[in-house]
């Protein structure tokens, strides 16, 4: 069981180990969020929920919400909109004022990397060519703070999910997850991912997930839940 | 104004049987609204309050954005059915003022600089009112803000003290408030012993004020513990 804290809770005296989600006052470390304490290396507080803050190098799944020459404006599940410049569309030099929508239209989903953020909170994206979402698969959204739990230690959780559900799973930093595969596999994967997100603060989660995926009967149970 | 012949204190007890330093029963539920980022249902005696928090989200209108920090918006609203005589819906002088002072009571604990150019919306709806709704609103909003994952230094707790029949008492109800001599709501950051809001109407002597303040600060400590328990228990039942 992880230790649950609320804002203002005293955590430790080790000021030099104070990390994300904490603040230091009078030589003591306090929690800044409502969440769980992680004391493995630094002392961190991982909030239960929150809004994704884009940072350079993150890979995110975005949705085109506006076309404003020469940018596509992209919703990245954050308080800030991101933009994708025309020139970040690789191998295309015929893009023009009038035909941007023929490459990416409003409502299209993209996988992109954050290449820059500035003090004005402008977020610049670059398209990741290896992943083209198109209209295949399914998109689910979880709080971005739960992403490390979905991936698991050294990718153990996500690897297990991919093997057992036999579908392609792509987890983006902003909490959006793209699934692609056959219907039943996606159903199970989606259900298990939401379960992980709901129980991210409990321990022994990997074992429980393995058990659910292994037991044939519980697979059926999951299917029933979805049908309802 | 006091109605003729009303006796607010009988044999050292108040009309509802409470002692002078006793709070009304409090009930707190966290995360009651599915579509809000954070929410809280708060009951304090016959006060029933619901708080919803949205954000941080993109700020509109754009010119009101702050390039350095988030903007906190707070709306205190009484439902038309929350009081005995129907309240005319919509903002009025009183609710605009309460919104402002409640916002200022919460602002010192919110780490607004983590989300520049955004807004954080707090909506507090009074479903049933029995005096002291602004304090119930602040208590609810503070829990809802934590539930929304907003970075904060502390929680804020709030309670009122007043004077009835010449005695300083805690947490007035509507009858006491209407017939009493003074009413003083306060909000404080319990861990630091900092008062973020203090208002008073009516008259109290310096000694009564000091006594009342002490009473209220102790009560805030009790409320803080209840707020804390409500938040912690939500994630430990599984």
* A165: enclosing H helix or E strand: helix A156-165
Q: Is residue A183 part of a domain?
A: yes
The strand pairing partners of A139, in sequence order, are A178
Which pLDDT value is given to residue A169?
93
- CB proximity B238 to A under 8 Å: yes
Which pLDDT value is given to residue A90?
74
Q: Is residue B9 part of a domain?
A: no
SS3 state of residue B140: helix
- CB proximity A79 to B under 8 Å: yes
Q: Which of A6, A81, A202 sits opposite B231 (nearest CB)?
A: A6
Structure tokens at A84: 């994708």
Q: Is residue A186 part of a domain?
A: yes
- Report how many domains make up chain B: 1
Size of interface A-B (CB pairs under 8 A): 80
Which pLDDT value is given to residue A170?
93
Report whether pLDDT(B80) > 70.
yes
B201-B202-B208 Cα angle (round to 5)? 105
Mean pLDDT of chain A: 88
Average pLDDT over residues B165-187: 95
Report whether pLDDT(B3) > 80.
no
Which pLDDT value is given to residue B237?
59
Which pLDDT value is given to residue B224?
98
Q: Is residue B11 part of a domain?
A: no
Q: How many helices (H) and strands (E) does chain A have?
A: 6, 14
Q: pLDDT tens digits, residue range A55-104?
A: 999 999 999 999 998 999 999 999 999 999 998 887 767 778 888 888 88
Q: Is residue B10 part of a domain?
A: no
Whether B37 and A49 lie within 8 Å, measured CB to CB? yes
Q: Is residue B5 part of a domain?
A: no
SS3 state of residue A194: helix
Q: Is residue A133 part of a domain?
A: no
Report whether pLDDT(A228) > 50.
no
Average pLDDT over residues A163-173: 91
The reply to whether A107 and A149 lie within a common domain is: no
Could you tell me if residue B17 is left (phi over 0), alpha (psi between -120 and 50 degrees) or otherwise beta?
A: left
Range in A36-40, A87-91, A220-224 the model is least confident about:
A220-224
Share of chain B above pLDDT 70, in %: 97
Report whether pLDDT(A191) > 60.
yes
SS3 state of residue B94: helix
* B219: enclosing H helix or E strand: helix B206-234
B55 CB contacts (<8 Å, ≥6 apart)? A51, A79, B37, B70, B118, B119, B120, B121, B148, B150
More confident residue, B73 or B237: B73
State which residues form the domain around A214: 138-227
The dihedrals phi and psi of B149, each to the nearest 5 degrees, come to 80, 20
Angle, helices B133-147 vs B206-234, to 10°: value is 30
Share of chain A above pLDDT 90, in %: 58
**What does chain B come to in residues?**
238
Closest CA to B198 of B167, B172, B161: B161
Q: Is residue A51 part of a domain?
A: no
Domain holding B34: CATH number? Answer: 3.30.230.70
pLDDT band at B236 (very low <50, low <70, confident <90, very high): confident
* A103: enclosing H helix or E strand: helix A100-103
Q: Which of B146, B151, B238 sits opposite A6 (nearest CB)?
A: B146
How many Å apart are CA A201 and CA A170, to the nearest integer? Answer: 22
Distances (CA, A) of A208 to A148, A160, A211, B87, B122: 17, 12, 5, 53, 38
State which residues form the domain around B173: 19-234
Q: Is residue A132 part of a domain?
A: no
Alpha helices in B86-201 (DSSP H): 93-106, 133-147, 174-179
Q: Is residue B8 part of a domain?
A: no
pLDDT band at B2 (very low <50, low <70, confident <90, very high): low
- Report how many domains make up chain A: 3
**Which sign, positive or negative, has the C-alpha torsion A55, A56, A62, A67?**
positive
Q: Is residue B1 part of a domain?
A: no
pTM to 2 decimal places:
0.93
pLDDT band at B101 (very low <50, low <70, confident <90, very high): very high
Sheet with A28-31, strands from edge to edge, namely A10-12, A28-31, A22-25
Mean pLDDT of chain B: 95
Average pLDDT over residues B7-12: 90
Alpha helices in B19-153 (DSSP H): 93-106, 133-147
Q: pLDDT tens digits, residue range A135-157?
A: 788 999 999 999 999 998 899 99
pLDDT band at A208 (very low <50, low <70, confident <90, very high): confident
Which pLDDT value is given to residue A216?
47
How many Å apart are CA B26 and CA B44, to the nearest integer? Answer: 5
The reply to whether A223 and A142 lie within a common domain is: yes
Domain holding A15: CATH number? Answer: 2.40.50.100
- How far is the alpha carbon of A119 from chain B, nearest alpha carbon, in Å? 8
Report whether pLDDT(A224) > 60.
no
Closest CA to B141 of B159, B129, B157: B157
- CB proximity A199 to B under 8 Å: yes
Average pLDDT over residues A171-187: 91
Asked whether the beta carbons of A136 and A186 are under 8 A apart, the reply is: no
Whether B111 and A32 lie within 8 Å, measured CB to CB? yes
The reply to whether A148 and A204 lie within a common domain is: yes
Report whether pLDDT(B60) > 70.
yes
Q: What does the H/E/C string look like for A46-99?
A: EECCCCCCCCCCCEEEEEEEEEECCEEEEECCCCCCEEEEHHHCCCCCCCCCCC
Which pLDDT value is given to residue A41?
87
pLDDT band at A130 (very low <50, low <70, confident <90, very high): confident
The reply to whether A87 and A148 lie within a common domain is: no
Structure tokens at B140: 């609810």
Q: Is residue B2 part of a domain?
A: no
Domain holding A72: CATH number? Answer: 2.40.50.140
Which pLDDT value is given to residue A225?
55
**Which sign, positive or negative, has the C-alpha torsion A21, A25, A30, A33?**
negative
Average pLDDT over residues A162-179: 92
Cβ contacts (< 8 Å) between A199 and chain B: which residues?
238
Q: pLDDT tens digits, residue range A25-34?
A: 999 999 999 9
Cβ contacts (< 8 Å) between A32 and chain B: which residues?
111, 151-153
Share of chain B above pLDDT 90, in %: 93
The reply to whether A121 and A158 lie within a common domain is: no
- How far is the alpha carbon of A34 from chain B, nearest alpha carbon, in Å? 6
Q: Which of B55, B151, B232 sits opposite A33 (nearest CB)?
A: B151
A6 CB contacts (<8 Å, ≥6 apart)? A31, A34, B146, B155, B227, B228, B231, B232
Asked whether the beta carbons of A92 and A103 are under 8 A apart, the reply is: yes
Q: Is residue A14 part of a domain?
A: yes
Buried b (16+ CB within 10 A) or exposed e, B199-235: ebeeebeeebbebbbebbbebbeebbebbbebbbebb
Q: The tokens 């709806």 sit on which residue?
A: B125
Q: How far apart are the first and last CA of chain B?
A: 52
Q: pLDDT tens digits, residue range B204-235?
A: 999 999 999 999 999 999 999 999 999 999 98
Q: Is residue A219 part of a domain?
A: yes
- CB proximity A168 to B under 8 Å: no
């Amino acid at each position: 069981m992880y230790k649950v804290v609320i804002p203002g809770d005293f955590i430790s005296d080790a000021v030099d180990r104070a990390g994300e989600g904490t603040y230091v006052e009078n030589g003591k470390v306090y929690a800044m969020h409502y969440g769980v304490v992680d004391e493995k290396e630094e002392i961190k507080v991982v909030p239960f929920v929150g809004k994704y803050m884009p940072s350079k190098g993150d890979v995110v799944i975005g949705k085109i919400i506006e076309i404003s020459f020469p940018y596509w404006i992209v919703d990245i599940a954050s308080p800030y909109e991101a933009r994708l410049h025309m020139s970040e569309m690789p191998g295309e030099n015929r893009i023009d004022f009038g035909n941007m929508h023929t490459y990416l239209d409003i409502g299209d989903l993209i996988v992109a990397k954050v290449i820059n953020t500035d003090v004005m909170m402008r977020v610049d994206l670059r398209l990741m060519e290896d992943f083209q979402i198109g209209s295949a698969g399914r998109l689910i959204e979880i709080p971005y703070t739960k992403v490390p739990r979905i991936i698991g230690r050294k990718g153990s959780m996500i690897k297990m999910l991919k093997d057992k559900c036999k579908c392609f799973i792509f987890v983006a930093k902003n909490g959006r997850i793209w699934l692609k595969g056959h219907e039943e596999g996606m159903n199970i994967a989606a259900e298990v991912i939401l379960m992980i997100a709901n129980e991210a603060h409990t321990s022994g989660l990997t074992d429980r997930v393995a058990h659910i995926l292994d037991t044939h009967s519980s697979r059926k149970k999951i299917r029933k839940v979805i049908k309802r | 104004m006091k109605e003729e012949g009303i006796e607010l204190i009988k044999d050292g007890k108040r009309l509802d049987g409470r002692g002078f330093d006793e709070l009304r029963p409090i009930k707190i539920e966290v995360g009651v609204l599915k579509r809000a980022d954070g929410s809280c249902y708060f009951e304090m005696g016959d006060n029933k309050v619901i708080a919803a928090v949205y954000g941080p989200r993109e700020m509109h209108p754009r010119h009101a954005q702050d390039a350095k920090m988030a903007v906190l918006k707070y709306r205190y609203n009484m439902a038309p059915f929350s009081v005995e005589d129907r309240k005319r819906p919509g903002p009025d002088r009183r609710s605009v003022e309460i919104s402002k002072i409640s916002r200022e009571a919460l602002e010192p604990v919110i780490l607004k600089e983590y989300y520049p150019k955004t807004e954080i919306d707090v909506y507090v709806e009074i479903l049933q009112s029995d005096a002291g709704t602004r304090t119930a609103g602040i208590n609810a909003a503070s829990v809802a803000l934590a539930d929304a994952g907003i970075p904060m230094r502390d929680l804020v707790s709030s309670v009122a003290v007043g004077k009835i029949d010449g005695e300083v008492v805690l947490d007035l109800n509507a009858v006491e408030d209407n017939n009493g001599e003074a009413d003083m709501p306060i909000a404080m950051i319990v861990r630091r012993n900092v008062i973020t809001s203090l208002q008073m109407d009516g008259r109290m002597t310096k000694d009564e004020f000091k006594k009342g303040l002490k009473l209220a600060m102790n009560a805030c400590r009790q409320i803080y513990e209840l707020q804390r328990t409500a938040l912690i228990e939500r994630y430990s039942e599984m």
